[in-house]
Structure 1
Amino acid sequence: MRLYGVTGSKNCGKTGLMERLVPEICARGLTVSTVKHAHHSTDVDQPGRDSFRHREAGASEVLLASPNRWALMHELRDAPEPPLSDLLGKLSPVDLILIEGYKREPHPKIEAHRAETGKPLLSPDNASIRAVAADSAVETALPRFDLDDTRAIADFILREVGL
């Protein structure tokens, strides 16, 4: 499977770019899955729900199934967070996996950047960043795209991964 990441500082447009890239790439006849890394504790389950109660009771994994989707929740129970490579092995095969976050992992990435955050670019200190998508002019030797030019960004990513 081919991987490409979207990285950047907080509130720089990563999720919005991911939301636009997925349908753009799928419209080209390719299959896409996504991985989202959260630095904070997050829960996809709701207190009081049966599946939440199963986990609270001590289940290591809870598979929730419905006519529309299924989700597997795995409790780490103080074990370390698994590496990205282990998590990728749990996904079904697709043409491309887009990864939001995991900025220190070695897969190729595009950096999303918004001037209003006041944050510097990550790319000067991260060799895995291959391009920058920004909402304003930025100083970079890397290919630069307008943050809203989803088609051009998708073209670049697909060329990079050979699709």
Structure 2
Amino acid sequence: MNLYGVTGWKNTGKTGLMERLVAEMVARGLTVSTVKHAHHDTEIDHPGRDSYRHRVAGAREVVLSSPRRWAVMHELRDRPEPMLAELLTRLSPVDLVLVEGYKRANHPKVEAYRAETGRDLLARENGTIRAVAADIAIDDLAQPVFHLDDTSAIADFILRDLGLRA
């Protein structure tokens, strides 16, 4: 499975970059899935909905199906969060899986960076970051630096790095 990540500190443009990369890769004819990591108690279901009531009642998994989409919600019930590798086994085969977050996981990544956050670049310490997409020029990195909005060039880099068609 071809896997590439977008990582970075909070409010650096990760989600926007992910959204643009998915659209770019799909426009190039690739099938793409995504994995998004959240660091908080993310609620994808809402109180009062039937599926929410099923989960609260104690169901470990709830499948929600409609004519347009289906989803599986899995409650951990105080068990540890699964590793990324385990989650990937649950995806249907695609050409590329883009992962948002998982800073410390071992897959290759592009770091989204905005100077206004005041944080240092993760790429200086994290060897899995292969390129940086930034809103400023950065001249002192070993990794290539792209403008944060240059989606086409970032997509070309990812595909070349994975050995896929660019």
Same fold, TM exceeding 0.5?
yes
Asked if residue 109 in structure 1 is aligned to residue 94 in structure 2, the reply is: no
Number of aligned positions between the proteins = 163
1:148 counterpart residue number = 149
Shift of 1:124: 1.1
* 1:43, distance to aligned residue in structure 2 (A): 1.1
The residue that corresponds to 1:32 in the other structure is 32
CA drift at 1:154: 0.3
How far 1:59 sits from its partner (Å)? 0.4
Partner deviation per Cα, 1:28-69 (whole Å, 9 max, x = no partner) = 110000000001110110000000000000001000000010
Alignment of 1:1-163 (within 5 A): 1-138=1-138, 139-163=140-164
- % identical equivalent positions: 72
Q: Counterpart amino acid of 1:152? A: A
If the length of structure 1 is used for normalisation, what is the TM-score?
Answer: 0.99
- Residue 92 of structure 1 and its aligned partner are, at CA, apart by 0.2
Q: Output one character per residue of 1:80-135: Cα deviation in whole Å (capped at 9) or x when no partner.
A: 00000000000000000000000100000000000111111001110000000100
Amino acid at match of 1:119: R
Structure 1: which amino acid aligns with 2:51? S
Between the aligned partners of 2:16 and 2:103, the Cα distance in structure 1 is: 17
Kindly report structure 1 stretches of 4+ aligned residues shifted beyond 2 Å. none
Q: The residue matched to 2:64 in structure 1 has which SS?
A: strand
Output the TM-score relative to the length of structure 2: 0.97
Alpha-carbon distance in structure 1 between the residues aligned to 2:79 and 2:95: 31
Amino acid of the residue matched to residue 143 of structure 1?
P
How far residue 162 of structure 1 moved from its aligned partner, in angstroms, is 1.4
* Distance of 1:76 and 1:59 partners within structure 2: 10
How far apart, in 2, do the equivalents of 1:41 and 1:76 lie? Answer: 12
Q: What amino acid is the match of 2:149? A: D
* Aligned-pair Cα RMSD in Å: 0.6
Rounded Cα–Cα distance in structure 1 between residues aligned with 2:29 and 2:42: 32
Amino acid at match of 2:92: S
Q: Please state how far the C-alpha of 1:140 moved relative to its aligned partner.
A: 1.3
